[in-house]
Amino acid sequence: MHLRWVALARLLAPTLIVGGALLAREYMPGLDGDARVILVNLPYLIAVACLVMAYQFRRLRLMLATVGITSLYWLIQNHLQVSLAQPDAARLFLVASLALPLLCLYLLLIPERGMFNTYGAVVTVFFLGIGGACFALADVMLQAALAEGNAFSARPVEDYVLSAGASKLVLAALVVGLGLVVLRDTVAESVLLGVLASGFFSLALLHLDDISIAMGIAGGLCLVWGLLRSSYAMAYRDELTGLLSRRALNERLNTLGRRYSIAMLDVDHFKRFNDKHGHDVGDEVLKLVASRVSQVGNGGIAYRYGGEEFCIVFPRKSSEDCAAALDDVRERIADYKMSIRDRRSRPQRSRDGARRRGATRVGTDEVSVTISAGVAARDEDCPDAEAVILAADSKLYKAKKTGRNRVIF
């Protein structure tokens, strides 16, 4: 439950950006002269910055989202500033109202697996293909929209331009996106939902003055936020476990006050896991431990220290204050039964493994993973963070020597 709330919290920034842009739109019509010129061109400037960052950080989905939302803004500014009763405008509006949810849904569903490889090329071709298909079917969609009772002809309420059919597609993309925000531990899904929302308001409220400008800026800022978060994750997140990295720990240690405690944790018999079951099982063990350590209570902040070692910083806490939280983490890890398939019974091909999942498992063992931990607090004997870590490490090895699966304070 905690992890779900953390995942949903990623939606806060895109929500605030889009909501703030809706409020700011009220003041845009009063601008003129140079301010107006800057405002109209600002979405393009933001898009250039997003493309550069997406290229630098190898974020293909966000690069394609930038292309998509900028194309929508250009389309509205150059071709949809007229009555939708005109056939050309109606055709382009239908294309945009279908392309927006379909492309966002496509980008939500595909994983991020690189940019300059075969996968990236295929993803890009399909993205362009979906957009091209919407243009190719424009005439058919226009005829359908003009047909009485067709889902793409109805406008649900007054001053709401988007058709019922397109609105349902947007809703479907939104529901899928919310599910993926919870299931995936990445920020891209939240960003794409922000882009979807900004595009939706641009089309649904097309009759409002400067709505496309406000939403063009909002969509770009959502992308900027996501790309900055991606750069932070690359620098300060451990790729395997998702925990904060050693670099993040070093920076945090420089900002601690005069009262804090540090716990050093180590997976018991980790080398034995690797030697007996393979490094892939070892990685799963580290992920398991990280998932439990990340939920430590009493204000603790978890980091991956290196290898099978983890570190938890407790600001403004004594060693005694951390006891219950650390014992809880230790017990939850020890109580979890991990199923491990014998190396000889594992399929060589991932396709065979996928086919076997859900079937009766042959040659599997259930094992328990345990950790040992040592805790030290800043005091006269340990006047700085480095000394506290050394003291905690010393107690960690004492826990190892006295039987493992325990916490030494």
Q: What is the pLDDT of residue 162?
A: 85
Q: What is the pLDDT of residue 212?
A: 94
Identified catalytic residue from 239, 308, 320, 366: 308
Q: What is the pLDDT of residue 343?
A: 53
Q: What is the pTM of this model?
A: 0.73
For 276, the 3-state DSSP assignment is helix
Q: What is the pLDDT of residue 85?
A: 79
Please compute, for residue 341, the number of CA atoms within 13 A of its CA located in the half-sphere on the CB side.
14
Q: Which of 320 and 139 is assigned the larger pLDDT?
A: 320
pLDDT in tens, 362-373: 456 677 889 999
Read off the pLDDT band of 63 (50, 70, 90): very high
Read off the pLDDT band of 145 (50, 70, 90): low
Q: Give the angle 147-71-53 at the CA atoms, nearest 5°.
A: 145
Q: Which amino acid is at 294?
A: S
Structure tokens at 381: 């004997």
Q: Are the C-beta atoms of residues 213 and 38 closer than 8 Å to each other?
A: no
Q: What is the pLDDT of residue 24?
A: 93
Gap between the Cα atoms of 273 and 55, Å rounded: 39
DSSP designation for 29: G
| Domains of the chain, earliest start first | 2-235 (no CATH), 246-408 (3.30.70.270)
Structure tokens at 407: 């916490």
Q: Is the pLDDT of residue 1 over 70?
A: no
Structure tokens at 380: 């006269």
Structure tokens at 392: 């905690």
Q: Comparing 44-53, 68-77, 263-272, which segment has the lowest mean pLDDT?
A: 263-272
Residue 308 catalytic? yes
Provide mean pLDDT across the span 299-303.
93
Q: Are the C-beta atoms of residues 190 and 13 closer than 8 Å to each other?
A: yes
Read off the pLDDT band of 236 (50, 70, 90): confident
Q: What is the pLDDT of residue 220?
A: 96
Q: What is the pLDDT of residue 106?
A: 96
Provide mean pLDDT across the span 38-67.
94
Q: Are the C-beta atoms of residues 207 and 242 closer than 8 Å to each other?
A: no
Listed residue (102, 101, 71, 91) closest to 140, CA to CA:
91
